[in-house]
Every structure is written in C-alpha cells, then in structure tokens.
Structure 1
C-alpha cells in the first residue's frame, strides 16, 4: 500500500472505495468549507456518493487516467489530492486538492502536492502538471505559487458551481522547471 509521511502525525496514502464511509463522514463534516470550491462535495457527503466517486478514481487509476490519495492526520482523514486529469499520451495532468478547515495552515497540501508532482515527473515521465482554481480561492493560488508554478492566465467564467460561473486561474509547471533533487 502506498503511504508517505508528510509530517510526524500526517501521512498521504491511497484513498480507495472501501474508505467510502470515512470519506463521506469527512466530506459531510467539512461540507460548508468544501461547497465553495468542489462540485462533488454534495454527493460525496453521503456514503453511496462517496463510494461512487472513489470507485470512479479506482477505475481511472486502473486505466492509467487518474488517481486519488487522502491526507490523514493522527489517523483521521482531513483532505486529499488527486490527479483529476491524466493524459499520458500528451504528458499532461491536472492536480487537485482539498482540505478540511481544521487542517488548514499546516503546509499539508503543499507537502502532498510536492509528492504528487515529483511522482508525476520522476516516476511517470509526465511533461506538465496543471493546477486550476477559482480566482477567489487565494489559498489555492498560494499553494500553486509555493510549488513554483507559473500563472498562465485566467479562463473567464469557465467553471460553473451551483448556478454561478467563476473565473478560473490556470497554473502549471513543466518537468524541466521542477527541482532535480527531491
């Protein structure tokens, strides 16, 4: 099983369909926070929806088209990271993240994202990792900046969430820009 220590009490590990009860509980507890950014946060707050989402990523991983990992602190699921898009033929993927409000500010998303990006470049030979976030999601933009990504522009009203259109920032980093030492 994949498991990577992020801090003394935090780890990044596979988030699989059998985690659906824990994932649903996590999403339901953080739902007010997650609703601002993530369309799946409503359906995944129920065990059936959580299992469908996790199975979708398990199936995508089996086809080499994506994957999802969770961040646990002290044995409790508090967030995660995923390759929402994985296009091996183009060497391009899109990294996404989420975190419960009680875990914000510890650098967990930045650490987990570094692991994911490093794996995409060094192990899988990807060429480009993208990061998209609403222009109003300043915490997400700050992570992209800390990861050394370049802000490539804004996709105007490109993302619709609960009937409201949002501008989306596009960030990216190329394999040639990623530090050579982990």
Structure 2
C-alpha cells in the first residue's frame, strides 16, 4: 500500500473506500471554495459519488496510470494530491491537488508536492511533471513557482467549467532541473 510520510503532521495515503464518507464531508463543507476551480464538485452530490471516485483512482493505481492520494493532516483528511495522466512513452505526468479551506496557507501542498515530485522522479523514473491551473487561481500557480516549475504558456479556452470556457496556465519541471539532480 502506498503511504508517504511528509513530516510529523502530514501524510499521503492512497484513497481507501472506507474513507469515502470523510472525503465526501470535506468536499461538501468546501463546495463553494472548491467549485470555483473544479468542475467535478458539481457532480459530487453524495457519498456514493465519492466512493465511485475512490474505486476509479484505485483502478488507476493498480493499472499503473496514476498515483492519487488523500492528504492527511493531524489525522484528518485535508484534501487530495496526485499524479495523473501518466504517459510512460515520454515519462510525463500531471500533478493535481486541492485542500479544504481550513488547511490552506500552511505549506501543506507545497511540502507534499515536493515529496510526490521526488517519488515521481526517483521511483517512477518520470522525466517531466506538469501543473495546470486557471490564471485566476493564484494560490495554485504560486505553488508551481515555489517548487521551481517553469511557466510554459497558456492554453486558451481549453477547459470548461460552470458553463464557461477557461484558460489554463501550464507549468512544468524536468528531472534534470531539480536542484538535487546529478550534474
């Protein structure tokens, strides 16, 4: 089972079916907060929707297509973080994340991403990690910048959410660009 200790308070764990109620409750409490950025929020209406999500991401992990985890802080689910859209031909994956509003601003995502990126490069042997976010999501783009990702550009009107088309900024980091990469 995948579990990754970040520090004494934070841990990443694969989603488990018996956590569906807790994950749904976090999503439901943060519906307005998350709904600004994520189209899946409006389709997550009950625990069964969250359970379906968990079963899907566990299949993705078993099929070697993704590593999607719950972020645990002080023994509670605080959000999610993972690598999806893994393309083994080019060694690329996309990081996505969210936290409940009560957990933001504490460096949880930045520290967790740093650990997951190391796992992606060192264990999965990926070469490129991508983060995409809407330009208005300044907290998310700040995470990418803090982690040393390079801004690649903006995919204009490439996502649809709340009935509107949205631009998506693309940030990436290559294995050789890591500060601890062998020279």
Q: How does 1:31-50 map to 2 (within 5 A)?
A: 31-50=31-50
Q: Which runs of 5+ in 2 are unaligned?
A: none
Give the secondary-structure state (helix, strand or coil) at the position aligned to 1:42.
helix
CA shift for structure 1 position 18: 2.8
Q: Which residue of 2 aligns with 1:10?
A: 10
CA shift for structure 1 position 64: 0.6
Give the secondary-structure state (helix, strand or coil) at the position aligned to 2:131.
strand
CA shift for structure 1 position 45: 4.6
Give the secondary-structure state (helix, strand or coil) at the position aligned to 1:168.
strand
CA RMSD of aligned residues (A): 1.4
Give the secondary-structure state (helix, strand or coil) at the position aligned to 1:106.
coil
Q: Give the Cα separation in 1 of the matches to 2:167 and 2:95.
A: 18
Q: TM-score, normalization: structure 1?
A: 0.94
Q: TM-score, normalization: structure 2?
A: 0.93
Q: Which residue of 2 aligns with 1:165?
A: 165
Q: Which runs of 5+ in 1 are unaligned?
A: none
1:153 lines up with 2:150 in the alignment: no
Q: Which moved more, 1:35-44 or 1:107-116?
A: 35-44
Aligned residues: 181
Q: Give the Cα separation in 2 of the matches to 1:5 and 1:127.
A: 23
